[in-house]
Amino acid sequence: MSHDRPGRTGNADVDRLLDDFGAVSRHYEKIYEELADLRGRGEAADGLVRVEVAPGGALLGVDIDPRAMRLGSAALAEAIMEASTTATERATARMTEVLEPVIGRANGFSESLQGRLPRMDVDSSITSDPRVSEALRSLQELRDRYGS
């Protein structure tokens, strides 16, 4: 089967699904990059203790000003915990901001797929294209994941 434009299957439904899938994939890649760079920062004891965490609260760095040693061990431990808690809250809040549109978009994409694939008349020459087969597999994984 010959197609007028590169990257097109000749089946409008499949082409539309591939376009939708491509847009969602590009958006997910951008979100993934944002999440990879996401950090939360917190400080306590008037800035003498600073903490940086990854999403989920994993410590990436702790900076303790030498003057913080005058606080005593209990106060220093409390300051570290306070800075860590603040950093984790900030990382979690930012992660939520980043993921909120993705979750909504994935749900909308999943809803748009409901019932479409089984009704599509996809001829076997189209599904023999490895790109189409991979996209259909990925779409099925999304349907399975989001319950459509």
16-35 tens-digit pLDDT: 888 888 887 787 788 888 88
Amino acid 102: pLDDT: 67
> In this structure, which amino acid lies at residue 55?
P
Please tell me the least confidently modeled range out of 44-48, 57-61, 85-89, 136-140. 136-140
Which segments of 52-114 does DSSP mark as H helices, in order?
73-113
CATH 3.40.50.1100: does it fit domain 13-146?
A: no
Tens digit of pLDDT for each residue in 103-135?
765 566 556 655 554 444 445 555 566 666 777
Average pLDDT of 30-59?
91
Tokens 């994941």 locate to 145
Mean pLDDT, all residues of the chain: 79
> In this structure, which amino acid lies at residue 136?
L
Amino acid 112: pLDDT: 60
Q: Where are the domains of the chain?
A: 13-146
First-last CA distance in the chain = 31
